[in-house]
A and B are shown apart, each in its own frame.
Chain A
Amino acid sequence: MDYKKKSFFAPFNSLKYLLKDPVTIRYPKENKKTYPEVEGVSPQYRGRHFNDLEKCIGCGTCEDICPTGAIQMVEFDDVKEKNGATKKRPVIDYGRCCFCGFCVDVCTTSSLGMSREYVNNFPTPPEATEDTQGEIISKYFIIRPDLNFSKNQGWITDNNYSWLELKRVVMGIFNPEERSNSFLEIVKGYTKEEAILEARRCVACGLCKDACPIHMDIPEYIMAIFNDDVKESVKEIYKTNPLPEVCGRVCTHKCESVCSLGHRGEPVAIRWLKRYAVDSLPLEEYKNVIANKPIKQAGKSVAIIGGGPAGLSAAYFLSFMGYRITIFEKEAKAGGIARYGIPAYRLPEDALNKDIDFIKSLGVEIKTNTNIDKNMFEKIYKEYDAIIISTGFDLPRSTNLSRNGMENVVGALPFLHDVREFLSNKISDVKITDNVLVIGGGNVAFDCSRSVARLQKMKFGKVKVTQVCLETPDIIPADKEEIEESAEEGVTLIYGMGPKEIILDDKGNIKGLDFMKCESVFDENMRFNPKFNENERLICEATMIIEAIGQAPDYSFIPEEYRSKMKFERGKIVLDENYSTGIEKIFAAGDIVKGPDIVNGIATGLNAAKGVDKLFN
């Protein structure tokens, strides 16, 4: 009975579902019940891409991670050129894309995102034939994402969820108390484990390679460090850079300023990785790793005047081309600005010597303590097949405040030179007082004030250094680390002031310096042309003044007949495309051509070497 009753009434049971809401929805008329306040798909849906083409730097990391090979980097003409970016932009093949969103999670600039648009519809091309339809349809599938969908944002990745390692491996550094007592190198350098971790962060986009003046293959040598193959790394470094110990410490690292990781986090510590690689391979191993046989025998002799970075670089590359090289260096040791300009706490003697020793081992002759004058220049010109001038900027610029011979006003370079000589026991003392004023805002000025701080600590036990610069914090040319570290060492930095007058006491000794407010440093053409406001004044007490406001070249050793034929522009020699000065056999490199910095020195050294080689072939 019960069974019959159930069979009869059971179908009526389904009537109650007539009154219930349907489970299905009528998209797009209705929103989903799970997120009724949002129209369409969910808020972080992984739909079709959008890309801010201005923000995108074309690093290609999205292409590297794409598991389906749907992304291709294509060079476009309508993309604006900018520093640290290629003209390539991602193009996505929606026939392959699996909408995983990995490209968004690894995007270095966060320009790439995914929208909540998922329908990719297009009219059926009426003109399509069987042969052409594939081509026509692919136009709708293979597209460059632009900002079309950016208003309908879906899956976007902030720094918290980024797959990139945005934080740098912390570099060990001596604390300010420890380091300001001596000229020991501040930075400890990476250990093997730290270096591998840091090398792992690199996405190998190669933007650094384009930014580097000598186009070092940075991704390649970082990859070798990551694979714990220091030999391969050093081999790769030496292909383009003959002074890696120097560059690994004091390079202006243009590579790091364009590093794609720098857009979201901290750039890869490229400079320190280079230092790690060369530091961990002893000099004796170099000859097993780096090619040290010339690739040909040119059989010509080249004289290089000035044994600084540019001269050494030219010597290195020329020796591989089989030239006999003689470097004429006026100081007791080669190295130029790297030795006599940069203080030992940034670039220790041993590191510099290692680079120079390797270059010497290639057969380069370095004649030290050899000053070149006009007669000597003539002699060299006759004796050698070519000359490369790389004498650098070694005359200090002065503010013209000090009257002739005023004691206790020194230039930056002579001061730093003396400090280096003092440290290598060549001279017994560096003249210094207990209250020093440094004028300037570049790295050299910081080198001076920090050297003074160390000397004062050694001599007087306390630090009193004031540094005054024209620039405001946003345009100061020195590195950020220099500003931070000098403050830790006790240097007082005053921004936006220009010197007016030296104040003397009754006996004619320096008592202080009168400053006036600097309103602007550059004029509208971005040329250096400071404007001052004399009403706003500041008086700094000091008994010694170091002027670190730049350096100038010295061309007095070049005989008049040659010099008159050379062209100069703002102190620098104007060269043709072969780095020739326009006079037969005379080439130039280094700061007197481009710069001032060491890596540009190396680059011009290489170019001058190429120019020389072209002359004989």
Chain B
Amino acid sequence: MSEILTYLGKDEEYEVYELFFGPNHPGMSGNFSYILTVDGHTIKKVSPDPGLLHRGFEKLVERRLWLQNIALIPRICVPEPDINEMVYSTAIEKLCHIDVPLRASYIRTIVLEMARLSAFLFGFGGIGGTTGLYTASYWSISDRDYLLDLFEWLTGARVYHMYILPGGVRRDLPNGWTEKLKETIDYLQKRLNEYDRLIYNNPLVIKRLKGLGKIEKELAIEYGITGPNLKATGVKYDIRKMVPYAAYDKIDFDIPSQNEGDGLARAIQRREEFQLSLDIIRKALKDIPDGPVRANMPNPLKFKVPKGEVYVKIESARGEHAYYIVSDGGDKPYRMAVRGGSYTAGLILAQKVLVGCRIEDVALWMATMDICPPDFDR
């Protein structure tokens, strides 16, 4: 107990302690955590303590061939690994001026939206877990399994797909896969009503989340908050619309948004985007053209990327996920920096917003903000 709770002193009413809140990863130690200074139940000060979760990634890529890195980078984000492959591949395509076949762009869109769905399902479980509705986590994880089955069929693996490559994708859609995906989409659509009943229309959840960690529009923009968290404050900013990639510019869709900017708005924003992803997949499946799935690419062992630097961003389930890549014209990246979706939220905004909250709000705030330590813990 003494290690996680340090006595600091006493004010007029309460004793003040330093509380070690974390690590936020069940699997390993040495991770990201918050050190909270608590006055009774109220948080006085928050200091994030970045750990050593991803201490080597950016360095490791410098020692591997451009294509070998495809096996490494999905590991930066477990719930939604495909975004890493997409950002990395797009960066290489931009530096090399490679045109991706249209069919590959559509497949990428479908895969990215499937990944987004499985990330949101993870998030449903998070909200369920932190509000005590454990049914939500059982449901969402088992529904996510259907998506993983489809990933396994298409890419050969359940979690780390290594499917999107520079120039296109690794395999064409297998026979019967599209039909099964449609079935799964319809199933998830039906399940969404049940999730509504379980979570979003649940008076308990509404009461608990309303007003939690409210973020104003201006503050969100000032702190560089992106993704659903920003949209929940009323700013309709989505990279899929603003800087379209893959086949998003060919698909017609509207970005939902909320106004309140509190925990409930963020949770509902995610639920709305879940619906949007289902719609985008339906449209993409309808429009997908025939053709090759990969451009003619050089021999991976002698693949050199022209000298230059590029910043590529895409919309992940948590916001702007981006890589900054520098090539010196060699067969390996010269430098790569990763900007995770919840980078500013978890590291900087938390110091401001969490002050004044209660200890039990911290985990819930993290769940509604979708704070993912691998985004910034390096």
- Bound together, the chains give a CA A200 to CA B162 distance in angstroms of 24
Contact flags A175-214 to B (C-beta < 8 A → 1, else 0): 0000000000000000000000001111110000000000
CB distance from A556 to the nearest CB of B (A): 53
Q: In the complex, what distance in Å separates the CA atom of A118 from the CA atom of B296?
A: 32
Q: CB within 8 Å of A: which of B68-124?
A: 68-72
Q: Please report which residues of chain A, range 63-103, place their CB below 8 angstroms from some CB of chain B when the two chains form the complex.
A: 64-68, 98-102
> How many Å lie between the Cα of A42 and that of B158 in the bound state?
10
Q: Mark A93-127, 1 if CB is under 8 A from B, else 0.
A: 00000111110011000000010000000000000
What is the CB-to-nearest-CB distance from A124 to chain B, in angstroms, rounded to a whole number? Answer: 24
A446 interfacial by beta-carbon distance below 8 Å: no
Verify B156–A65 contact, CB threshold 8 A: no
Main secondary structure on A side of the interface with B: loop
A358 at the interface (CB under 8 A from B): no
Flag if B171 contacts A202 (CB, 8 Å).
no
- Asked if A45 lies at the interface with its beta carbon under 8 angstroms from chain B, I say yes
Interface size on A, residues (CB 8 A): 39
A44 to B162 alpha-carbon distance, docked (Å): 14
Specify which chain B residues have a CB less than 8 angstroms from the CB of A164 in the assembled complex.
299
Contacts of A276 in B (CB 8 A): none
- Distance of A281 Cα from B70 Cα, bound (Å): 39
Out of A34, A101, A226, name the residue touching B146 (CB < 8 Å). Answer: A34
* Residue A8 is within 8 A (CB to CB) of chain B in the complex: no
On whether A202 and B152 interact (CB within 8 A), knowing A23-B143, A100-B71, the answer reads no
Using A42-B153, A67-B69 as known contacts, say yes or no to A100 and B162 having CB atoms under 8 A apart: yes
Q: Does A43 contact B (CB under 8 A)?
A: yes
Which A residues from 198 to 257 make CB contacts under 8 A with B?
A: 199-204, 226
Question: How many Å from the CB of B15 to the closest CB on chain A?
Answer: 39
* Alpha-carbon gap, A45 to B297, bound state (A): 24
> Chain B, 131-167, contact with A by CB distance < 8 Å: what is the 0/1 string?
0000000010011011001101100110010100000
A101 to B174, CA, bound (A): 17
Q: Is A460's CB within 8 Å of the partner chain B?
A: no
Known A41-B152, A65-B68, A163-B299; contact A98-B170, beta-carbon cutoff 8 A = no
Do B153 and A67 touch (CB < 8 A)? Answer: no
Near B by CB (< 8 A), chain A positions 25-61 give: 32-35, 41-46, 61
B156/A154 in contact, CB under 8 A: yes
Q: A203, B153: Cβ atoms under 8 Å?
A: no
CB distance from B344 to the nearest CB of A (A): 31
Determine whether the beta carbon of B143 is less than 8 Å from that of A42. no
Q: How far is the CA of A32 from the CA of B152 in the complex (A)?
A: 11
- B25 close to chain A: CB less than 8 A: no
Give the complex CA separation of A480 and B359 in angstroms: 80
Q: With A44-B174, A68-B71 as given contacts, are A200 and B152 in contact (CB-CB < 8 Å)?
A: no
A525: interface (CB < 8 Å)? no
Smallest CB gap from B170: residue in A: A161
With contacts A23-B142, A23-B143, A67-B69 taken as known, whether A35 is within 8 angstroms of B153 at the C-beta atoms is yes
Q: Of the candidates A33, A35, A98, A114, which one forms a contact with B156 in the assembled complex, judged by CB atoms under 8 Å apart?
A: A114
B368 to A: closest C-beta gap in Å: 24
Residue numbers of B with Cβ under 8 A of A are: 64-65, 67-72, 139, 142-143, 145-146, 149-150, 152-153, 156-157, 160, 162, 170-171, 174, 180, 184, 294, 296-302
